[in-house]
Structure 1
């Protein structure tokens, strides 16, 4: 299959189960990349999916799914945020919180379609740039974000304060 057969549309209540599965796969993927990243708690995937569907009418949030032949195979969550509004000059920015495409459908332009859709929505809202985070160990993700025009501006670091429990 290729990306030309992909439909990108706003999330719908019927997408909850698919979103939950995709989000769980995303969190599992991150933990497999780097065990320092947090694992999901029991029931978190369902709560996450509920929250995404609840936010579909939020004017500061957008959630899209990618589907092929009626099967949801990816999603993206974008939002308008103002970091530290009381400390820095006001500047609304776009923020991509999550984007995930099932492994069998990767490298077909689907994630790019999802990002393009969120970016188009952000531009319609008057937003001038988008930000996101990517796991340092996610080299494929880093290459993807660089390919869509991402530029590193900050590096998030972590320092253990106690020995690992493992």
Structure 2
């Protein structure tokens, strides 16, 4: 049986291990325990994990800026895919955003992660052709 619950910082080691072992996921310095704790504190109750037999088998992180929502790191272990777990994780995040009056959500997908692109398109998300994302790193280098 799969259980979905709110993510806490106690899940960090399990979640970071999922990230490390998932092709197409890029880890950055911003994925440190400290940064993750800050994200969870700033966006309480908006990120989720899926558990099977007491072990984390999926996760998603969610936050917002007051106007738009942002999803990050949706991961489900391969042996648990195609069971609706990813859909339920995302749905929980979107419900949290809607409860705050936020009805638009964004996410980033690495261009090399074609499987993720197919997943999101298949779920009704739209690939934006009208904007490019620009980033600035003020400290820490390329892996910030």
Deviation at 1:77, TM superposition (A): 0.8
> Which is further off, 110-119 or 97-106?
97-106
Matched position secondary structure for 2:109: coil
1:102: Cα distance to partner?
A: 1.4
Contact 2:9/2:36 (<8 A) preserved: no
1:150 paired residue among 122, 125, 139: 125
Does the residue aligned with 1:62 lie in a helix, a strand or coil?
A: coil
Return the match for 2:98 from 109, 112, 123: 123
RMSD after superposition: 2.7
One of 15, 18, 32 as aligned partner of 1:19: 15
Q: Determine if the alignment matches structure 1 residue 136 to structure 2 residue 111.
A: yes
d(CA) in 2 for partners of 1:64 and 1:49? 16
1:102 aligns with 2:77: yes
- CA change 1:114–1:11 in 2 (3 A) is same
Shift of 1:60: 6.9
In structure 2, C-alpha distance between the alignment counterparts of 1:114 and 1:69, rounded to whole Å = 17
What residue number does 1:65 align with?
Answer: 49
Deviates more, 1:142-151 or 1:117-126: 142-151
TM-score, normalised to structure 1's length? Answer: 0.68
Gaps of 5+ in 1: 32-37, 83-91, 158-166
Secondary structure of residue in 2 paired with 1:127? coil
Report if aligned partners of 1:11, 1:53 keep a CA contact under 8 Å in 2: no
Cα deviation, residue 23, structure 1: 2.1
Unaligned runs of 5+ residues in structure 2 are 134-144
Q: How many residues align?
A: 133
**What is the CA–CA distance in structure 2 between the aligned matches of 1:149 and 1:80, rounded to whole Å?**
20
Q: 1:56 aligns with which of 19, 24, 40?
A: 40
The range that moved more, 147-156 or 127-136, is 147-156
For structure 1, which segment, 108-117 or 5-14, has the greater mean C-alpha deviation from structure 2 after superposition?
5-14
Taking structure 2 as the reference length, what is the TM-score of the superposition? 0.77
Runs (4 or more) in structure 1 with deviation over 6 Å come to none
Q: Residue 30 of structure 1: which of 24, 27, 48 is its match?
A: 24
